[in-house]
Structure 1
Amino acid sequence: MSELFGKEKKELIKNIIKRIHQGEDIKKLKEEFKDKLKGINPLMIAQIEEELIKEGMKREEIQKFCALHLALFEEEIEETPILTEAGHPIYILMSEHRLLLKLANEFYQEILKREKERLEEIIHHFKESESHYLREENVLFPYLEKHGITQPPAIMWMEHDMIRKVKKNIYQAFEEENWEELTEKAKELAELLNSHFYKENNILFPTALNVIKKEEWPEIKKGFDEIGYCCFTPEEIIKKEEVAVIEEKEKSLFPINFETGNFYLNELEALLNTLPFDITFVDKDDTVRYFNQSKERIFLRTKAVLGRKVQQCHPPKSIHIVERILNDFKSKKRDVAEFWISHQGKFVHIRYFAVRDKNGEYLGCIEVTQDITEIKKLEGEKRIYDY
């Protein structure tokens, strides 16, 4: 039977996936279309899922049936080797996958033995693994999005949040010594990690290697280095490169003039980085254009976020709120949106301001995030004379 190619083949695969979602037996479908499934590669699967969502299928539905999609193509995708070397971002992520799976399985066994000391050590590793997910969300995913792969990363981010939720339940159950709950959640985590890592190893990462340019990978590695690695990530696979410190030249010989004064570029940049809060500017097209680099940034930002749509910088579950805020700003319904949360022992005030020109035209919005823990404690007065 002749093999189908291009658009015709994609449409066939979409229809097969829809039939799976409707409950048809996957083994029968594989047998029926076994010749036509030949030649499917991870990039094509990612593109098909991308198109299905754009055509109206809910992201949650794709995530729910993702394991069945992989089962449909398992013979094809498992024949695709990933060839990267130590130090490559994908090599690091896949190595951490293996280590995390090993830890998750060991954790389950140690619960049965009630080895509290070792359980505590593994929980520490679970907490440290957050940098693994942050590197993907804040560096790898933006590069995939730049190359038109937006939905598969969003689905993986959804699963990251599911993993975070289960880990949070584990920490609480361990603290309360609720062994029954701990056993149940440990099993759930192991299964979730196994499924999630399989998807990334066999679909997302091969797709990344396919679409991301060779010259972009050093930039991604630099972003990984800036965020940092897990305590259990072996140094030999990271291969951090020593970067020579080059004395910074004057960034501008001429001042930037404003209505009320002027700055040299290096002065302005230093001023913005000295502000006691984090700022991020999003332009009128919802594109992240700038963030300052304050000393104690509350929420992670990497340079990979620049040029990214702000909607893609947020977990899928909160995108509709981001859209609502932006729409209110653009329609002049509101100029400010603010929230406050407890985050890692800090009380954080988050404010969004619409940025408008003199005529009231919308230019974008600025996010201002500030740790106000100590400010909340202020009482009475402290005058300049008390310095």
Structure 2
Amino acid sequence: MEDMRKHLPEVDMEKLKRVLDIKARYLAGQLSLSEAQAELRQQVKKIRPYELALAEQELKTFEEDECRKEDIQQMMLLFDGLLDTGRPELAPEHPIMCYYRENDEMRKWLKEVERLAPYPVIKNEWLGLYDELQKWRTHLSRKQNQLYSILERKGFDRPTTTMWLLDDFVRDEIRDARRLLEEDQDEAFIAEQKTIVADVLDLMQKEETVLYPTSLAMISPREFEEMKAGDREIGFAWITVGASEQPKASAPTQEEASATGFAGELAQLLGKYGFGGGSSPDQLLELATGQMTLEQVNLVYKHMPVDFSYVDEQEIVRFYTDTEHRVFPRSKNVIGRDVKNCHPRTSVHLVEEIIEKFRSGEQDSVDFWINKPGLFIYIYYVAVRDAEGRFRGVLEMMQDCTRIRSLEGSRTLLTWDKSNKEASKGQAEAAPAAAPEVAHEPEEICPEPTPSTSELLELGPETRLKALLEAYPWLKQALPEINPAFKMLSSPLARIMIPKATLAMMSERSGMPLEELRAAILQRITQHQG
């Protein structure tokens, strides 16, 4: 993995070790706030945001949910006067300033949440407000696909491995609250608003305190210019950003100039002797079943009615089709990225399982689908193998099949109507709302058969907690009465744990014998039904 330090000014690692030691003792209650601040002032004096990021990256043991657990306000108090938290002076359309601008807009909408929360719910008013809050998905999607990607290539993968989980947690809180509103659960909906405001503000402060300043320290002006095209592909929340077609030219570094010069000379030499496809735009490439120019190949892929992505045998993303109706948000920064880092930690196990089964030859394909009112998304994965049967990667195909599923009868005559012209446009308009859920909610992508009530009441070791809670939602509140260990089901980690938990796992984690747990749950169900 790339060394993050190569992309930062020189850093005193011994100083960072002292910072983490003082911080750990303070959080453990071994130092008071004033004692910890005094030690920091004496031993550290000043610390830059990117130094904190480097310390977390290289000197701290990985914890999957650490970003969610980190109390940003407590950290700000600890480093008060030592950490520069000022906003940088950047052009409005600089990629980092676009994130700041979106944060400013989000804060305005959160103030509106606080203004409305004390009053009786007027549903349409709240629905309009939540339409705005849900635009935050675009901010998160751009951050995950663009910013995390380039930082990861430079050795800073903490955003991918930890902050992504917090991004999705906040996104899902907003989504779930809207569902409560739509189902007229006004009391539960209002009760969620304070938490949502606090969690969104917490996420934004974590972005602005460490993520964005570190990005500015690690990413060159040239790279930021190159990011702009991908940012525009994914889009922005609330703000308007100019759509200049070409990034501004900036002088390449000596290393880049050297590499470019060599590559250019090599391409010219190969072209001179008839090798490669870059010597002429009209040169035909020999394909397996035909000949096309490179331009024609790109045009065909751009007009594909389905989306394709290709991951090679080294698990690196090599290609995706740049179609207007794209189901998932994509940008060019995904190319060259480890496919596991293109997914949140909660769904990486699915990616790993698919690749493992394909690589071993145990499986050759697998499909998933999302079926919601007014939307049907189909996803298909197939193992790519060469003529000798060797595994060469994975091809992913995605399609919005909503219109196809709605077709009835037969059409055998040529008919030009609005549906022909508007079908792809309609898919493109539907995609932004669907894409984040398809991309980040494996429990919806891979639905398990819904067990019957009689099967649930058998309560075997493999009975799923998720199935129980879907059949008996009130059980979530009753489980801590059975065993205090189940209080964790009300914590942020519940969203990750519930889909995976079985009765056997619950027994093991709580220390409660399986039969005793089974009997206690059945007793609660019987009492509730009686």
Q: Aligning the two structures, in what range does the TM-score lie when normalised by the shorter sequence?
A: 0.7 to 0.9
Distance in structure 1 (CA, Å) of the matches to 2:314 and 2:77: 39
Distance in structure 2 (CA, Å) of the matches to 1:385 and 1:298: 28
1:296 to 315, 318, 325: 325
Distance in structure 1 (CA, Å) of the matches to 2:347 and 2:26: 29
- Letter aligned with residue 120 of structure 1: L
- Letter aligned with residue 99 of structure 1: E
Distance in structure 1 (CA, Å) of the matches to 2:323 and 2:188: 41
Distance in structure 1 (CA, Å) of the matches to 2:94 and 2:232: 11
2:338 to 309, 324, 330: 309
Distance in structure 2 (CA, Å) of the matches to 1:343 and 1:250: 49
2:147 pairs with 1:140:
yes
Runs (5+) with no aligned partner, structure 2: 1-10, 248-277, 417-530
TM-score of the two chains, using structure 2 as the length reference: 0.64
Q: What secondary structure sits across from 1:360 in the alignment?
A: coil
Q: How many residues align?
A: 373
CA contact (8 A) 2:17 2:59 kept: no
Q: What secondary structure sits across from 1:286 in the alignment?
A: coil
User: Partner residue of 1:334?
Assistant: 363
- Which residues in structure 2 correspond to 1:90-105 (within 5 Å)? 90-105=96-111
User: Partner residue of 1:30?
Assistant: 37
Q: What secondary structure sits across from 2:43 in the alignment?
A: coil
- Letter aligned with residue 193 of structure 2: A
Deviation of 1:129 (Å): 2.5
Distance in structure 1 (CA, Å) of the matches to 2:26 and 2:384: 47
Deviations 1:247-269 (A, max 9, x none): xx997322211343222222222
* Greater displacement, 76-85 / 262-271: 76-85
- Which residues in structure 2 correspond to 1:108-257 (within 5 Å)? 108-114=114-120, 116=122, 118-230=125-237, 232-233=238-239, 235=240, 238-241=241-244, 252-257=281-286
CA contact (8 A) 1:153 1:204 kept: no
Distance 1:250 1:344, change over 3 A: farther
2:94 pairs with 1:65:
no
**Superposition RMSD in Å:** 2.9
Distance 1:69 1:352, change over 3 A: farther
Distance in structure 1 (CA, Å) of the matches to 2:382 and 2:32: 50
1:87 to 83, 90, 93: 93
Deviations 1:186-226 (A, max 9, x none): 11111011111111001000000000001111222222222
User: Percent same amino acid at aligned positions?
Assistant: 28
- Which residues in structure 2 correspond to 1:306-385 (within 5 Å)? 306-342=335-371, 345-377=374-406
Deviation of 1:18 (Å): 4.4
Distance in structure 2 (CA, Å) of the matches to 1:201 and 1:104: 17
Distance in structure 1 (CA, Å) of the matches to 2:66 and 2:133: 28
TM-score of the two chains, using structure 1 as the length reference: 0.86
Runs (5+) with no aligned partner, structure 1: none
- Letter aligned with residue 313 of structure 1: C
- Letter aligned with residue 296 of structure 1: H
User: Partner residue of 2:18?
Assistant: 12
Distance in structure 1 (CA, Å) of the matches to 2:404 and 2:208: 46
Deviation of 1:374 (Å): 3.5
Relative contact order (C-alpha < 8 Å, sep 6+): which is higher?
1
Distance in structure 2 (CA, Å) of the matches to 1:221 and 1:273: 20
Distance in structure 1 (CA, Å) of the matches to 2:228 and 2:396: 27
CA contact (8 A) 2:48 2:84 kept: no
Distance in structure 2 (CA, Å) of the matches to 1:311 and 1:71: 35
User: Partner residue of 2:83?
Assistant: 77
CA contact (8 A) 1:354 1:362 kept: yes
Distance in structure 2 (CA, Å) of the matches to 1:20 and 1:154: 25
CA contact (8 A) 2:381 2:397 kept: yes
- Letter aligned with residue 303 of structure 2: T
- Letter aligned with residue 63 of structure 1: R
* Greater displacement, 278-287 / 330-339: 330-339
